[in-house]
Amino acid sequence: MVAKTDPTVAAGDADITARREAFYARADTQHLAPLWTRLKALVPKLPVHQLVPHVWHYDDLRPHVMESARQISAAEAERRVMILENPSLRGTSQVTNTLYAGLQLIMPGEVAPAHRHTQSALRFIVEGSGAYTAVDGEKTIMQPGDFVITPSWTWHHHGHEGAGPMVWLDGLDIPLCTFFGSTFREDHDQAEAPVERPLGDAMARFGSGLLPVGHVAKNLNSPVFNYPWARTREALHVLSKAGAPDAHTGHWMRYVNPVDGGWAMPTMATMVRLLPAGFATQPYRSSDSMVFTTVEGRGELRVADQVFALGPRDIAVVPGWMPYTLHAQDDWALFSYSDRVAQEKLGLWREARG
Ligand code: 1HN
């Protein structure tokens, strides 16, 4: 029989709570849970994440990176990398919720053997010269400040025919691929995958203000897979003569895919900026957590109430939606990567000035 009045209305709060708890326990046996106890946490008013801002000073890291070569060869390690972990995400190999960062070392004569994986990788060259990476059948020799792309599922190996240690920052979308359950890898049957095109081929075809007529994109990445620092630097310095920097972001440029004008990579947004000596930005924030590294110059990064001094080769992580400012001591060039491009494609990305 159906009661005429709801007995819970007359009952006290304790009774309501007890009845609900009993209901939740019964529902729990079916792996069911009430949304209303979780809604505010699931859909907060503002982004909530565990990340903290952090700076790694290269001078502190370098001895450990160099020691890695005394501990293990590139061949044995497959990739000899020291991972930069966000201090709030220790043990996860994550620098942000979606991104990975590491410092890779290769010594003269070594080869890091060929493999491929669904994760996309970027390299930003930190120190040394003469090492190459071979990506999808073409080699490129890397110099400090170069930005190099390894697209998803392309064969790649690295080698070093020059002198001295060579170090680069690896940025990968590993946590993003893990989240989507789309992680695959394959090892090549040879340490060095075949190289089919001459040095400079991609730059000539795609990075010279020209495109082959009828070109059809092979994948979602820019076919220019090395953006040399010398050209980027020249562009930044020329454009900085022509006008004032943006008050919140400085002279800020993105690496572009010349085929479609979009970002250079499909999941990671790669950008570079120049802040003239003495210039201080107004506060800026965006929903993409970002990894920065200084290419040249130095300055001060403020995130919320924390202040960090950044010099050449230092690496910083700034959590999404935390306001930050940059104050250049001398002409300050910063490279950065984030998941902005993925957020934009999903209609999620936001920014705020001030
Ligand atoms: C990888 O393939 C490289 O190719 C670097 O240099 C870092 C981190 C995790 C998984 C694969 C590389 C990596 C990686």
pLDDT per residue as tens digits for the range 46-61: 999 899 999 999 999 9
pLDDT, one tens digit per residue, over 4-32 is 455 555 557 899 999 999 999 999 999 99
* 8 Å CB contact between 308 and 324: no
**Tokens 């000073």 belong to which residue?**
57
Question: How far apart are alpha carbons 306 and 255 in whole angstroms?
Answer: 29
Give the Cβ contact number of residue 141 at 10 Å.
Answer: 16
Q: Whose CA is nearest to atom 14 of ligand 1?
A: 79
* 8 Å CB contact between 325 and 292: no
* 8 Å CB contact between 242 and 207: no
In the structure encoding, which two tokens stand for residue 336, read together?
A: 């950065």
At a CB cut-off of 8 Å and minimum separation 6, what does 80 contact? 68, 69, 72, 73, 74, 104, 105, 106, 112
Indicate which atom in ligand 1 lies nearest the CA of residue 112. Answer: 6
The pLDDT assigned to 20 comes to: 97
The pLDDT assigned to 325 comes to: 98
In the structure encoding, which two tokens stand for residue 19, read together?
A: 């009845």
Find the 337 Cα to ligand 1 centroid distance in Å: 16
In the structure encoding, which two tokens stand for residue 229, read together?
A: 């620092």
**Is the beta carbon of 285 within 6 A of some atom in ligand 1?**
no
> In CATH, which of 3.30.720.210, 2.60.120.10, 2.60.40.10, 3.40.50.300 is domain 54-353?
2.60.120.10
At a CB cut-off of 8 Å and minimum separation 6, what does 123 contact? 104, 133, 142, 146, 147, 148, 149, 150, 168, 169, 170, 171
Question: How far apart are alpha carbons 137 and 339 in whole angstroms?
Answer: 27
Q: In degrees, to the nearest 5, what angle opens at C-alpha 334 toward C-alphas 59 and 280? A: 105
Q: Whose CA is nearest to atom 6 of ligand 1?
A: 79
- 10 Å CB burial of residue 220 (0-12, 13-18, 19+) is middle
Mean pLDDT calculated for residue range 263-268: 98
Write phi, then psi, for 240 (nearest 5 degrees).
-70, -15
**Is the beta carbon of 298 within 6 A of some atom in ligand 1?**
no
**Is the beta carbon of 156 within 6 A of some atom in ligand 1?**
yes
Quick one: pLDDT band at residue 84, thresholds 50, 70, 90? very high
The pLDDT assigned to 49 comes to: 87
Mean pLDDT calculated for residue range 320-334: 98
Which residue, 231, 233, 230, is CA-closest to 331?
233
In the structure encoding, which two tokens stand for residue 233, read together?
A: 């630097």
The pLDDT assigned to 123 comes to: 98
In the structure encoding, which two tokens stand for residue 119, read together?
A: 């994760």
Find the 205 Cα to ligand 1 centroid distance in Å: 27
Find the 35 Cα to ligand 1 centroid distance in Å: 39
- 10 Å CB burial of residue 108 (0-12, 13-18, 19+) is middle
**Is the beta carbon of 188 within 6 A of some atom in ligand 1?**
no
Question: How far apart are alpha carbons 139 and 194 in whole angstroms?
Answer: 10
Instruction: Please indicate whether residue 261 or residue 4 has the higher confidence score (pLDDT).
Output: 261
Question: How far apart are alpha carbons 292 and 308 in whole angstroms?
Answer: 12
